[in-house]
Structure 1
């Protein structure tokens, strides 16, 4: 497929069907890798392509399956593929077979060159810095490198009172162990973050020129699901909550006219030209959901080319893209 072979969509045409919490990683050799939550919440899948849009039609393989009992036995959610220190890592959330809501972050490691065919070793739960971290419902962990140091951001519910989901950040000692105490980055402060549930989750990090942007998802997972954003100067201390600026309004939300419902849980990747910033996110094409939205299988993966107004990213569903042969 021609690497530039894409068109703008009529807004609500998905890139990959039935894949929520999508994550796309571009490796140093230019290859793209795709992973996401599957509707069964029982395994971790990968796709690989030489081009971003080629991921749509590539064969999908299962690299890991949930346990029949014990931890990592239920609700396999939001996997992310990263590469650090010459090894591959998969970060994901999982419950226990006997306690499906005991959700915590876990790590897999692959030391082989090819993560599609290599051996994945279970490293267990992400190791905390102290006794306060990952004690309650914790998920949606992402990691990023900044100025030679690695950091991770995740969502975790407070363990007393109303179960509010906050975003936290910490440094990394290794890809599987924190090096600092957790710092609260964001809490659901605004009305649009408190619909159904009080939630901040699904962080995604974008670097652009001299700033870092951290997007996140808010509220329950139906039509009210939407995205907010934090930003910080690249020279700022990312472990200092006060150095981050939080936007007062959502940056992306349901647009009935364009047929985009409940957009969220996004990440960012460079286009094949290495210049354009592409947002990867999920959404539905309808809002009439029977039962718990969490178990509705029709959250699909979308791609959106970001616009820029000086140092401000522009999120517009008119910039959704798909391959021309879709």
Structure 2
């Protein structure tokens, strides 16, 4: 039986910043920002569409006060050296702004084979060069080293967030050699806010490709692409090249607005690369788009061009 790669979108409603990982046990593991921004959930299923009906396990909840008490954003689940880790951002509640844009990065760990049923422990803050707004950490392995990529506000650079990379001493500690590999420079990255965030990595065709998202989280949100040669020094900023145009953006004709903050996975049969992302199916938003709950998780297959680069096309319409 031939598998269809046309997934019924949205795959999961009201889940933004989706992270979907296919493990060696044959299960897909999924986590994302929940509309309440108050907890971290993990669900698993044998199929992508099975994730929709899977019971989410709440593996961590925010504190009532202090540094981990507000706006729990963009968790990712990774399997590193025989253990599970979740990376996420959290802020502190304040009297004036409820912690908006006061985020720091944190890590959780779980030693169980099944992270949905296992016990998670806090490993503390993942500290970088500055105590400033930072979020959207992802990790990837290359040539035996683990790299950590994240978005952060440099106090000396105009704008909201740039992207940085560093090697890891262990899954919750950076080596301390962070370098900036991207900052908002094109107009499409600077609509509403000067933003580079939400990195995701896929290695193919002798290159390391890194998608990211830019601009405000309304219909102007869109994805860009960095790439580096797999033999290059990934801690050398000159190894990374940025395309000057977005690679995935709003499609008015398909009714998809503000697609971005993606992850990558593969189809159930392992034959097709898949883009996992969030988008809304309407353009006009009442109030701050960060508090509009209807960024839904979507999945679609993509191809590679003759030069070995990913071709994402347009976000597909919602299923009938």
Q: TM-score range with shorter-chain normalisation?
A: over 0.9
Does the 8 A contact of 1:215 with 1:228 survive in 2? yes
The 3-state SS of whatever aligns with 2:20 is strand
Deviation (angstroms), 1:5: 5.2
Specify every segment of 5 or more residues in structure 2 that has no aligned partner in the other structure, as ranges. Answer: none
Deviation (angstroms), 1:53: 2.5
Does the 8 A contact of 2:254 with 2:316 survive in 1? no
Deviation (angstroms), 1:194: 0.6
Which has the higher mean CA deviation after the structures are superposed, 241-250 or 308-317? 308-317
Does the 8 A contact of 1:304 with 1:320 survive in 2? no
**1:87 aligns with one of 67, 83, 87:** 83
Answer yes or no: is 1:261 the counterpart of 2:257.
yes
The correspondence of residues 222-233 of structure 1 with structure 2, limited to 5 A, is 222-233=218-229
Does the 8 A contact of 1:165 with 1:198 survive in 2? yes
> In the aligned structure 1, how far is the partner of 2:157 from the partner of 2:272?
44
Deviation (angstroms), 1:39: 0.5
> In the aligned structure 2, how far is the partner of 1:284 from the partner of 1:236?
37
The 3-state SS of whatever aligns with 2:14 is coil
The correspondence of residues 202-281 of structure 1 with structure 2, limited to 5 A, is 202-281=198-277
**2:146 aligns with one of 132, 145, 150:** 150
> In the aligned structure 1, how far is the partner of 2:107 from the partner of 2:273?
27
Q: TM-score, normalised by structure 1?
A: 0.92
Question: After TM superposition, what 4+ stretches of structure 1 lie above 6 angstroms from structure 2?
Answer: none
> In the aligned structure 1, how far is the partner of 2:123 from the partner of 2:2?
36
- Residue 168 (structure 2) aligns with: 172
> Cα deviation per residue 1:116-171 (whole Å; 9 max; x = unaligned)?
1111101110144xxx23x1100000000011110010000122463431000000
- Residue 4 (structure 1) aligns with: 3
- Residue 16 (structure 1) aligns with: 12
The correspondence of residues 1-326 of structure 1 with structure 2, limited to 5 A, is 4=3, 7=6, 13-98=9-94, 100-101=99-100, 102-128=102-128, 132-133=129-130, 135-160=131-156, 162-310=158-306, 311-317=308-314
Q: What is the root-mean-square deviation of aligned Cα atoms in Å?
A: 1.8
Q: TM-score, normalised by structure 2?
A: 0.94
Q: Summarize the Cα distance change of 1:143–1:318 in structure 2 as closer, same or farther, 3 Å threshold.
A: closer
Higher strand share: 1
> In the aligned structure 2, how far is the partner of 1:294 from the partner of 1:86?
35
> Cα deviation per residue 1:53-84 (whole Å; 9 max; x = unaligned)?
22122111211110111111100000000011
The 3-state SS of whatever aligns with 2:103 is strand
> In the aligned structure 1, how far is the partner of 2:134 from the partner of 2:215?
16
> Cα deviation per residue 1:74-98 (whole Å; 9 max; x = unaligned)?
0000000001111110000000134
